[in-house]
Chain A
């Protein structure tokens, strides 16, 4: 069974969890043998910008030692043979298309999404 995970809501508790919980979930299921793809849409397209840095958060005497590294987490999924797709129009709307993006990301238009969905047995929209 192949399942496409759609991540559209971005930065959902990423500081507290030190990752994106759905990307993390995909890693964990992949570790259990799942055949997955990930589609980043909406604000979550920001995850493919290579030069983001969430480090340095300090709250009173507390300092975050392991900030989220979302781009690396996505890149790591790709290295585990999980294809990661990203909606081109959503990148363009946010001015990110011209920036430095992660290698291995498959850019696709919204018009191509139905065909992508057809390649998977299930689509989970988070």
Chain B
């Protein structure tokens, strides 16, 4: 067991589909805020959370242009959490399931996100104090 507290999160939901995604990110933020090291294993649709080509859009229904709408993007949330981790002296280790990335064609991830396999997830879980799975339903 690691001496520093480490938590592993396994995420499964694709971006822009479920409130679970926001909740998961809030949990990541809270854990980093408290100085925990955090591992994330993104499985299935969750690998698209870090997709670099996500883009903001205007919203005619809201009557706002791109800048005004300032649409949230999960890739930016990840980058922001990584910055937050650095400020807090914590580690945020984000691993995308490689096969899940390939089948979705979302290989272009933001910097700091790496490709892995369930074996990496198992290793992260072994080195953590606890693991929380947030699956899609």
Within 8 Å of chain A (Cβ to Cβ): is B62?
no
Query: Which residue in chain B gives the minimum CB-CB distance to A32?
Result: B119
Query: Which residue in chain A gives the minimum CB-CB distance to B132?
Result: A124
Bound complex: CA A124 to CA B118 (Å): 14
Q: Which residue of A9, A13, A31, A125 contacts B44 across the interface (Cβ within 8 Å)? A: A13
Bound complex: CA A12 to CA B89 (Å): 38
Of B50-58, B63-71, B105-113, B121-129, the one touching chain A: B121-129
Residues of A close to B126: CB separation below 8 A:
1
Q: Which residue of B12, B119, B135 contacts A31 across the interface (Cβ within 8 Å)? A: B119
Q: Which residue of A9, A29, A125 contacts B118 across the interface (Cβ within 8 Å)? A: A29
Q: Are A25 and B118 in contact (CB under 8 A)?
A: yes
Residues of A close to B136: CB separation below 8 A:
9, 12
Query: Which residue in chain B gives the minimum CB-CB distance to A7?
Result: B135
Q: Which label, helix, strand, loop or mixed, suits the secondary structure of the B interface?
A: mixed
Residues of B close to A32: CB separation below 8 A:
117-119, 122-123
Within 8 Å of chain A (Cβ to Cβ): is B83?
no
Count residues of B near A (Cβ-Cβ below 8 Å).
Answer: 18
Bound complex: CA A94 to CA B131 (Å): 32
Within 8 Å of chain B (Cβ to Cβ): is A126?
yes
Q: Are A125 and B121 in contact (CB under 8 A)?
A: no
Using an 8 Å CB-CB cutoff, how does the interface string of A93-116 with B read, 1 for contact, 0 for none?
Answer: 000000000000000000000000
Q: Are B10 and A28 in contact (CB under 8 A)?
A: no
Which residues 46-98 of A have a CB within 8 angstroms of B? Answer: none
Q: Are A1 and B43 in contact (CB under 8 A)?
A: no
Count residues of A near B (Cβ-Cβ below 8 Å).
Answer: 18
Within 8 Å of chain A (Cβ to Cβ): is B80?
no
Using an 8 Å CB-CB cutoff, how does the interface string of A21-38 with B read, 1 for contact, 0 for none?
Answer: 110010011011110000
Using an 8 Å CB-CB cutoff, how does the interface string of B15-29 with A read, 1 for contact, 0 for none?
Answer: 000000000000000
Within 8 Å of chain A (Cβ to Cβ): is B133?
yes
Bound complex: CA A13 to CA B119 (Å): 22
Q: Are A124 and B44 in contact (CB under 8 A)?
A: no
Q: Are A34 and B122 in contact (CB under 8 A)?
A: yes
Q: Are B119 and A28 in contact (CB under 8 A)?
A: yes
Q: How far is the CB of B98 from chain A (nearest CB, A)?
A: 11
Q: Are A21 and B43 in contact (CB under 8 A)?
A: yes
Bound complex: CA A33 to CA B131 (Å): 18
Bound complex: CA A125 to CA B20 (Å): 14
Bound complex: CA A9 to CA B133 (Å): 13
Bound complex: CA A122 to CA B127 (Å): 13
